[in-house]
Amino acid sequence: QISVELVANLLAHSQSAIAGVSEVELTNSPDLQAHAGLAEDVLSLLWNITDDVFFKDSEEWRRVTTRFCQVPLLQVLYTSLTHPIAVHQQAAAATLHNFACNPLLCSTLLETGMGEPLQSFLKNSSPVCVCAVLAMAELYGLDE
């Protein structure tokens, strides 16, 4: 099994390395590019392992999403939503959508403030907006 703590720590470490850097700095630094790439890979992994289309058994999917929907990981997903890197934002929003599809997790997501950064994407037309709208529809009990 993949450790939720390890995933959260990897993502947090990469996020702290690229926090506040400009696009020029990111482009010119192989180290920063590696951190951004690692964060993207971890977020893509989360998006995929929490997506119900990959499960034959809905109960197994519920167990996986419940196991991963923990505060340390939610904190780094929140940070990913507020980072200026669109692919990070999109993967974080898609993962939160996957979590929100599990009705048992909606209260945890709302209590940890996940709705707030998702709402910010409703004011623009970025590709992240689609994932954010889907996550909010599940979170607030609306039909997709």
Which own/partner pairs from 21-29 qualify as long-range (CB within 8 Å, at least 24 positions apart)? Answer: 23/84
- Contact of 139 with 118, CB cutoff 8 Å: yes
* Measured distance CA(32)–CA(122) in Å, rounded: 29
CATH H-level superfamily of 4-139: Leucine-rich Repeat Variant (1.25.10.10)
Give the Cα separation of 23 and 68 in Å (integer).
31
Nearest one of 38, 33, 49, 51 to 12, comparing CA atoms: 38
Could you give the C-alpha distances from 116 to 4, 54, 81, 110, 135, in angstroms and in order?
Answer: 23, 28, 10, 9, 12
Round to whole Å and give the CA distance between 110 and 120.
15
* Residue 2 C-alpha from the chain's centroid: 16
Indicate the SS3 state at residue 56: coil
Give the pLDDT of residue 143: 54
pLDDT value of residue 78: 95
pTM of the model: 0.91
Short-list 129, 93, 98, CA closest to 114: 93
pLDDT tens-place values along the chain, 144 residues long: 889 999 999 999 999 999 999 889 999 999 999 999 999 999 999 999 999 888 888 999 999 999 999 999 999 999 999 888 999 999 999 999 999 999 999 999 999 999 889 888 888 777 788 889 999 999 988 754
What is the per-residue pLDDT for 34? Answer: 97
